[in-house]
Amino acid sequence: MDSNISSILSSKSSFICELREIKKYFHGVKALDGVDFRIRPGEIHALIGENGAGKSTLVKILTGIYQPDSGDILLDGKKVSFPSAHESQLQGIAAIHQETSMFPELSVVENIFMGHPIKKSNNISLDWRAMRKKTKELLDRLGIILDPESSIKNLSVAERHLVEIVKALSLNARIVIMDEPTSALTMNEVEHLFNIIRQLKKEGKAIIFISHKLDEVFEIADSYTVLRDGHFIGSGRLEEVSMDELINMMVGRSVNQMFPKIEVELGDVVMEVRNLSKFGVFNGISFKLLKGEILGFFGLVGSGRSEVIRTIFGIDDFDSGEILLDGKSVKISDPKVAMKMGIALVPEDRQLQGLILKMKIRENITLPIIDRIAKSFFLNYPKEVEIAEEYGKQLDIKAASWEDAVQSLSGGNQQKVVLSKWLATNPRILILDEPTKGIDVGTKAAVHRFMGELAEKGISIIMISSELPEVMGMSDNIIVMHEGVITARFKRDEATSEDIIKAATGLVKVE
């Protein structure tokens, strides 16, 4: 007890920022449940957790985008609140996001000083000379070689990140948050970025580093905090923890009980992909898909999973390799051909790729098979109603009428419309890209149960997922990708979360 008090007393001076018992609910759903977080100046602190663990919510609270429902935020030991993003910025907190929010047509200088320009002494006209000079200084200080006058649109993703960092410095940020800064960078760019992060550390900035890639975390960070399902799991110095311990903290639950997968007798090879390659995107992808199999694809964002399946479905093309259906080589030039061959793709982003929100439920469900049910050129309304009802009921879509616009449905029901529209194509091979992303637990369970039933009927499923428990719970076989190549394959009963994470972060190359 005494030691606790003394640590709190000492913390007052040493922590630049402290979050205590932060709680945040969204419509009654817990996003953060009593999370603690502390960081010192000159410290690189890794924030670790699976998707949905609560990392981004925590960042958004720190940057004033969300307000916590309870808990305290302390800066330099003093209680503060951030009613707006602007307020958080004024207090010296800057976030560099995955998707950078910049003005592509404007120059580096203009972007850096957007929102806080240097003015001339008359307080009206802008002092571009001073801004240019300041930009050069900051660039030099960090050893970045970049033309301050070039437009953002001409810069690479890596260079844009650097500009964001310079912008943070121009705001005199003391705490810099980096959310997956390396996800779109090459090896060399990552190394360059790390040197700059180390430079910031030397200058006494506190850096919150969020990454899925544990190897990078161990390379750059000093300490860690692990979140899981909105809970604080643990924190400490990285040299006192092993990779395996960290993974255990991240995953930490027995996943197999959550997903009651129906055991299905697997049949013959339905689809085979041989050495599929596309320069710079993926390389040498080979796998077999059996009748009634659920094949899980796991990998981090940017590992090339979605690109592979987009290629198989005929949306993107490829450089070399071969796709075989029932042992025969086929050429899938566009989605219509894929659908004719019995392949269906349920895309990841339902609002952007999966649905026509303004259209009715019935119209959405029948859109992919409109050729099949139309009487030559004319629509077949009774048939449409019949099909919409059949699949709507099968998937238990909760709607007042099949004639309602899809945009009036809740997210989970929208996802069910996406599923039913592809099931209506009567596929032999169903590709699901993040089938349960962003939907509630109840619908999630329904989707999983449904996948099991489809497999039982002999439909082969390729499931892409970033959620480890889902992949491990649902798949007969698991393929793990990292930076465009397959790094590991597991059978259902051989897979452990540790091995999968290792393969997905590129720590082991099994092949």
Partner 1 sequence: MLKLLKKKDFILFLFIVFVSLIISLRYPRFLTLSNLGDIFKDTVILIIVAIGQMMVIITAGIDLSVASGIALTGMSVGLLNQHYPGIPIPLIILISMLIGGALGSFNGLLIAYAFIPPIIMTLGTMSIYRGFVFVLSGGTWVSAHEMTDGFKAISGGHVLGIPNLFIFAAIIIALFAFFLNKTKTGREIYAIGGNELGAKYVGVNVKKIKYYVYLLSGVIYGLAGLLWVSRYASAQNDTAMGFELQTVAACVIGGVSIMGGSGSVTGVILGALFLGIVYNALTVTNVSPFWRMAIAGFLILIAIIVNTIAKKRTQYMMIKRRVF
User: Smallest distance from the beta carbon of 434 to partner 1, in angstroms?
Assistant: 15
C-alpha closest to that of 435 among 335, 314, 297: 297
Chain center to CA of 7: 36
Specify whether the CB–CB gap between 276 and 285 falls below 8 A: yes
Q: How far apart are alpha carbons 360 and 252 in whole angstroms? A: 42
Residue number with CB closer to partner 1 (226 or 361): 361
Q: What is the CA radius of gyration of the chain?
A: 25
**Who contacts 349 (Cβ-Cβ below 8 Å, separation ≥6)?**
none
Q: How far apart are alpha carbons 389 and 169 in whole angstroms? A: 58
Instruction: Note the residues at the interface with partner 1 (CB under 8 A).
Output: 315, 334-336, 339, 345, 347, 352-359, 363, 367-368, 370-371, 374, 377-379, 381, 398-400, 404-405, 407-410, 421
Specify whether the CB–CB gap between 34 and 233 falls below 8 A: no
User: Smallest distance from the beta carbon of 184 to partner 1, in angstroms?
Assistant: 21
User: Smallest distance from the beta carbon of 409 to partner 1, in angstroms?
Assistant: 7
User: Smallest distance from the beta carbon of 356 to partner 1, in angstroms?
Assistant: 4
Tokens of 401: 């009428």
User: Smallest distance from the beta carbon of 388 to partner 1, in angstroms?
Assistant: 13
Residue number with CB closer to partner 1 (440 or 498): 440
C-alpha closest to that of 213 among 509, 495, 502, 434: 502
Residue number with CB closer to partner 1 (379 or 441): 379
Residue number with CB closer to partner 1 (88 or 306): 306
Residue number with CB closer to partner 1 (182 or 414): 414
Residue number with CB closer to partner 1 (219 or 334): 334
User: Smallest distance from the beta carbon of 338 to partner 1, in angstroms?
Assistant: 8
Specify whether the CB–CB gap between 483 and 303 falls below 8 A: yes
Quickly count helices (H) and strands (E) in the chain: 18, 20
Where does 326-424 show beta strands of DSSP type E? 328-330, 343-346
Residue number with CB closer to partner 1 (347 or 435): 347
User: Smallest distance from the beta carbon of 334 to partner 1, in angstroms?
Assistant: 7
